[in-house]
Amino acid sequence: MTAPILVVEDLVKRFPAGRSGAFVNAVNGVDLKIVPGETLGMVGESGSGKSTIGRAILRLTEPTEGRITFDGRDITNIPAHKMRPLRRDMQMVFQDPWSALNPRMRIGDLIAEPMKLHLDLSRSERENKTVDLATRVHLRPEFLRRHSSDLSGGQLQRVCIARAIATNPKLIVLDEPTSSLDLSVRAEILDLLSEIRQQTQAAMLFISHDLGTVKLISDRIVVLYLGSVVETARSQTLFSNPAHPYSQSLLSAHLPADPKAELARHVLEGEVPSPINLPSGCTFHTRCPVAIQKCSTHAPGPQQIDDPEHFANCLRISDGGNRILSTETS
Ligand SMILES: Nc1ncnc2c1ncn2[C@@H]1O[C@H](COP(=O)(O)OP(=O)(O)O)[C@@H](O)[C@H]1O
Ligand code: SF4
Ligand SMILES: [Mg+2]
């Protein structure tokens, strides 16, 4: 089996919440693995800890507990100056391309910047590679002389993607890369990312609150709820056989507008609880339509479902009571 490029073990991140001594439990014991060339999708509602996990992997935020191993090396506690050379191998694309790019720099210089920082190239080699990268992200060469204010959101996200692939990284974390773009542009950027995936062997962690978006690009998907992974599966499996009641409710929101499917649509009730006071037991029990008494006292561990890559954390898998959707809807 291929060695993973990234292993996240029992990652915990707590942020201080005001002066009360309380904490925001943003990430609560997350385990992840990504192998080279694989795209792992991460989906969850706003506030479920997706960005914090992405930022912790790149050490843009310090983990409170847990271990992060990148390319065989424990990077959990390495100091910033030792992290710098690793940045060439781990890149990030953010949601908002407007704030990610320096408006005073020309697009060509923005694309060349990571190469300048991390690669030992002559000026002409760098210029050639900049033109090559622009072509790969389908930006016309004349844009290279312009500034970010001359480009649309979609074009700017192409610039960010060119920057992210400029150093041939082994891992790219994409945090909601299409969420700030118009619908028509989103599809173009997803197509571009699929192309990049084919061309490079870079592993990707693709973060989105939207299951439909994650489905289009991911080999495997992890579903997050209140800072915990509740289900992990191959993309196809998650859609055909979602095991966790929360995944099933997310999926039912994506059912086609078919009157028969309408019967099985399941809308979750209640608010997402505050991560300052996490519910006891299974953190989903306050909203779960099939919760039983034990769910408020026992935290479920991962249970294997139908294949060795499919796990869900639910106490009702053993009695079959985890199903909230009828199977013909999946
Ligand atoms: N710097 C911070 N200080 C305090 N709380 C934070 C900070 N960053 C994130 N949080 C909180 O952590 C939780 C997870 O946030 P985030 O990782 O941004 O979720 P997502 O990306 O899934 O929307 C949220 O409750 C958020 O308010
Ligand atoms: S453990 Fe209980 S509350 Fe949690 S998802 Fe399963 S049935 Fe619902
Ligand atoms: Mg986020």
Residue 305 within a domain: yes
pTM value surpassing 0.85 = yes
- Report yes or no on 284 lying in a domain: yes
CA of 3 to the centre of ligand 1 (A): 31
CA 11/CA 237 separation, integer angstroms: 25
- Whether 279 maps to a domain, the answer reads yes
Residue 320 maps to a domain? yes
Q: What is the mean pLDDT of residues 95-102?
A: 94
pLDDT at residue number 18:
82
Q: Identify whether 270 is part of a domain.
A: yes
For ligand 1, say whether the CB of 273 is within 6 Å of any of its atoms. no
Of all atoms in ligand 1, which is nearest to the CA of residue 209?
22
What percentage of the chain has pLDDT greater than the value 70? 95
Determine if ligand 2 sits within 6 Å of the CB of residue 288: yes
Tokens of 307: 């294949």
**Would you state the pLDDT for residue 270?**
81
Task: Give the mean pLDDT of 111-116.
Answer: 97
Residue 57 included in any domain: no
Over residues 115-156, the pLDDT tens digits come to 999 999 999 999 999 999 999 999 999 999 999 999 999 999
Residue type, 307: D
What is the pLDDT at residue 262?
A: 46
Q: Which atom of ligand 2 is nearest to the CA of 282?
A: 4
Q: Does 290 contact ligand 2 (Cβ within 6 A)? A: yes
> Could you read off the pLDDT of 41-86 as tens digits, one per residue?
999 999 999 999 999 999 999 999 999 999 999 999 999 899 988 9
pLDDT at 191: 95
pLDDT over 90 (residue 329): no
pLDDT tens, 268-301?
Answer: 878 889 999 999 999 999 999 999 999 999 999 9
How many structural domains does the chain have? 1
Residues within 5 Å of ion ligand 3 by Cβ? 50-51
Residue 306: inside a domain, yes or no?
Answer: yes
Which structural domain, as residue segments, surrounds residue 292?
240-330
The strand pairing partners of 205, in sequence order, are 40, 173
254 is a domain residue: yes
Query: CB neighbours of 6 closer than 8 A, spacing ≥ 6?
Result: 32, 33, 34, 57, 68, 69, 70, 171, 203, 205
Determine whether the shortest distance from the Cβ of 285 to ligand 2 is under 6 A: yes
